């Protein structure tokens, strides 16, 4: 039985061009995420989709019942795949995600989706704190420009800073290693104690379907 799962975070229409919160580079990130999902399905790994909703009608996006909260067609859930609805950046907070993973005996989690600096960050850190071994496919994630002090911070810098910040030895007891996509397929899923924090791994870019077929990412 597979001990791995791909968690697809918030790849919803709201983030597409024409949505209320379009992200920079979202099309390529979604294409890469679709490859990761396809490979997981081929190898029998679990795929769990997470979608965000804001129940507060005053929030102008991710409103329940609107097209924006629907999962993108390119990564639409397959038959039998679980869908989790969340209301917070952390995909584990007040959801059944942990129960789904633990119920399937999952120890290794691969994360793709959006946004890099928000829900990906929160979900990865929570998964790590809960003891899962976490891998983030960084080119299957996307974000947007931010502003601070009257200056615009481009999305590429936001994304890069988030990945670099998460890898910093100042933020973790040990620095995570960077793996190639090919290494992910060769690496067996490992059993991890739930009371020991596991450090996330960040993969290099996925460039083609072929690279994914030769990997666990």
133 catalytic residue (yes or no): no
Active site residue 3: no
Question: What distance, in Å, lies between the first and last C-alpha atoms of the chain?
Answer: 18
Q: How far is CA 49 from the centre of its chain?
A: 9
Retrieve residue 168's tokens: 């910093």
Residue of 86, 108, 121, 141 marked active site: 86
Q: Check if the beta carbon of residue 168 is closer than 8 Å to that of residue 137.
A: no
Q: Of the listed 3, 45, 108, 119, which one is catalytic?
A: 119
**Is residue 135 within a helix (H) or strand (E), and if so which, with residue range?**
strand 133-142
Look up 56 and say whether it is catalytic.
no
Catalytic residue, from 3, 10, 45, 183: name it. 10
Q: How far is residue 118's CA from residue 25's CA, in Å, rounded to a whole number?
A: 16
> In sequence order, which ranges of 104-172 are alpha helices (DSSP H)?
121-129, 155-167
Catalytic residues: 10, 86, 119
């Amino acid at each position: 039985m597979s001990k791995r799962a791909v968690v697809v975070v918030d790849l919803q229409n709201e983030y597409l061009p024409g949505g209320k919160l379009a992200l920079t580079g979202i099309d390529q990130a979604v294409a890469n995420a679709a490859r990761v999902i396809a490979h997981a399905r081929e190898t029998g790994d679990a795929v769990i989709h997470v979608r965000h909703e804001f129940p507060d009608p005053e929030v102008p996006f991710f409103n329940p019942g609107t097209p924006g909260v629907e999962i993108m067609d390119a990564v639409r859930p397959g038959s039998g795949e679980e869908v989790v609805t969340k209301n917070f950046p952390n995909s584990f907070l007040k959801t059944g995600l942990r129960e789904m993973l633990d119920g399937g005996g999952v120890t290794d989690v691969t994360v793709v989706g959006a946004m890099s600096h928000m829900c990906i960050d929160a979900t990865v850190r929570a998964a790590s704190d809960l003891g899962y071994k976490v891998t983030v496919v960084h080119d299957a994630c996307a974000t947007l420009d931010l502003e601070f002090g009257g200056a615009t911070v481009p999305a590429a810098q936001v994304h890069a800073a988030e990945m670099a910040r998460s890898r910093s030895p100042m933020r973790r007891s040990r620095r995570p290693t960077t793996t190639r996509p090919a290494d992910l397929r060769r690496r067996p899923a490992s059993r991890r104690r739930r009371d020991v924090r596991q450090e996330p791994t960040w993969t290099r870019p996925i460039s083609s379907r072929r690279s994914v077929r030769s990997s666990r990412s």
